[in-house]
Amino acid sequence: MSAAAPEWLSAEYLEAALRQYYQKCQLKLESLEIKSALGKGENYGAILTRICVKFSIDLVTKVEYLIAKTQLEEEDVETREKKAPYDTYNRELEIYEKVLPQLQNLAGEQLCPRVLHIDRQRGALLMEDLTHKGYVMAPRLQRLDERHVVLVLKKLAKLQAASAILNENLKCSSQSLTKYNRGFFNRYTESYSSYFLGCLKACANYLKTQPGHQNHAQRLEELAPHYMGLGLRCFQPEVGHINVLTHGDLWTNNMMFKYEAGVPSDVLLIDFQYAFWGSPTLDIHHLLNTSAVEQVRTGLQIEMRCIYHAVFVQELRRLNFRGQRLPSRKQFHLESEQKRFYAVHCGLLLQPVLLNTDETDADFGALLSDQPRGINMKRRLYLNPDIQDSIRQLVGEFELEGLLDPSQYEGL
């Protein structure tokens, strides 16, 4: 069961929002249909509501198909307090209002949905429902094949190259993009540690039951005291690297594809709650280790980096980037490896959450809880057979790469 739309999302509210957007005080709403956009376990951070509004302007009848993204109103106090330091709602509203329009102008193409209304008081936004422009979400449980991943990386490279240019233009103002410094790991809070370390423990407990993986379970347990620090190391912008506005949560449900003859032809990105200033390689690690099919993740990571790098550098040149020297392909691979511990986080901890098929307690409160409800919810994440196959393969690869070593960054 999905969360219900908030009561204040009424005909009167939508009529007022549309009047403001169209700057027509005579606009009159004629009909309204509202239904949930996603089911329980498909989105942990907000309520998504699908809306069809029919209205008249100057005797002409029009229809808008919208998505309302609103705050979760029934969260317990502890969950709200743990989420508060990330300031996800205000950050996303500001990025949609002030940053993305400029990035789209620089990129010369649409990157995200058209936004009709931003409500800072309620932490809500109204944006176009892309399904009525032919965009759909790819099936999250099937994950993304090579064509889908390539399309996402090319779009991402254009967005992020534009963000590097925009930040150069804004670096002496209060609107510098470097202020977005609260990703999943940040120096202000560790309030998600119950989520991350709880999943790490659940993963280790699962591996203890698997022949030949007891040593991997032990490695994860030894990693736990160092885990938050290692994650923070990944999220720190590196001097001398080209940093960008990352998406921050780049997985299947945060993108929508258009198809031509069954082949993906375009993609638009949605959900910028966790966008932050840092290495572009983090989004690549996130995408490949949460949402790519195994063939792409295991066999094509280098090729996928190269595809991103080629478009990223091309766009920076087109836009006359005047910051640091553009990274060579070799340098970009080195930067990616420097941040590769984040692949551990995405593959072993985030992937089970994002591909969860058990609706029991599938909410953010359970993820952030270290009480029995939260512990049991995280344990069930690792009962998914598809996740179990991936975890067993990933943990072996990460061990060989030295990514389960608590001292992996010492001397670097």
Q: How far is it, in rounded angstroms, from Cα 161 to Cα 369?
A: 38
Q: What is the DSSP string of 306-361?
A: HHHHHHHHHHHHHTT--SSPPPPHHHHHHHHHHTTHHHHIIIIIIHHHHT----TT
Contacts of 254 (CB under 8 A, 6+ apart): 247, 269, 270, 271
**What average pLDDT does this structure show over 159-174?**
91
Banded model confidence at residue 286, pLDDT cuts 50, 70, 90: very high
Of 363, 412, 364, 355, nearest to 385 by C-alpha is 355
Please, what are the domains in the chain? 1-73 (3.30.360), 75-114+135-400 (3.90.1200)
- Residue-level pLDDT at 71: 85
**In the predicted model, is pLDDT for residue 3 greater than 80?**
no
Q: How far is it, in rounded angstroms, from Cα 167 to Cα 163?
A: 6
**What average pLDDT does this structure show over 386-404?**
96
Q: How far is it, in rounded angstroms, from Cα 321 to Cα 316?
A: 5
Mean pLDDT over the full length of the chain: 94
Banded model confidence at residue 139, pLDDT cuts 50, 70, 90: very high
Rg of the Cα atoms in the chain:
21
**In the predicted model, is pLDDT for residue 130 greater than 50?**
yes
Question: pLDDT tens digits, residue range 233-251?
Answer: 999 999 999 999 999 999 9
- Residue-level pLDDT at 36: 84
**What average pLDDT does this structure show over 362-370?**
92
**What average pLDDT does this structure show over 96-102?**
97
**What average pLDDT does this structure show over 214-242?**
97
CA 135 to chain centre: 18
Q: How far is it, in rounded angstroms, from Cα 335 to Cα 281?
A: 7
Contact by Cβ (8 Å): 194, 82: yes
- Residue-level pLDDT at 174: 75
> At CA 106, angle to CA 131 and CA 112, rounded to 5?
15
Contact by Cβ (8 Å): 134, 253: no
**In the predicted model, is pLDDT for residue 73 greater than 80?**
no
Question: pLDDT tens digits, residue range 316-352?
Answer: 999 999 988 999 999 999 999 999 999 999 999 999 9
Question: pLDDT tens digits, residue range 26-56?
Answer: 999 999 999 987 655 455 567 899 999 999 9
Banded model confidence at residue 1, pLDDT cuts 50, 70, 90: very low
Give the DSSP H/E element, type plus range, for residue 127: strand 124-128
- Residue-level pLDDT at 38: 66
What phi, psi does 88 have (nearest 5°)? -65, -40
Contacts within 8 Å (CB) and 24+ apart, 338-341: 338/238, 338/281, 338/412, 339/234, 339/279, 339/281, 339/282, 339/285, 340/285, 340/401, 340/403, 341/230, 341/231, 341/233, 341/234, 341/403, 341/408, 341/409
Q: How far is it, in rounded angstroms, from Cα 290 to Cα 347?
A: 6
- Residue-level pLDDT at 39: 57
Percent of the chain beyond pLDDT 90?
Answer: 86
Contact by Cβ (8 Å): 269, 252: no
Look at residue 116 and give its three-state secondary structure: strand
Question: pLDDT tens digits, residue range 341-351?
Answer: 999 999 999 99
- Residue-level pLDDT at 408: 94
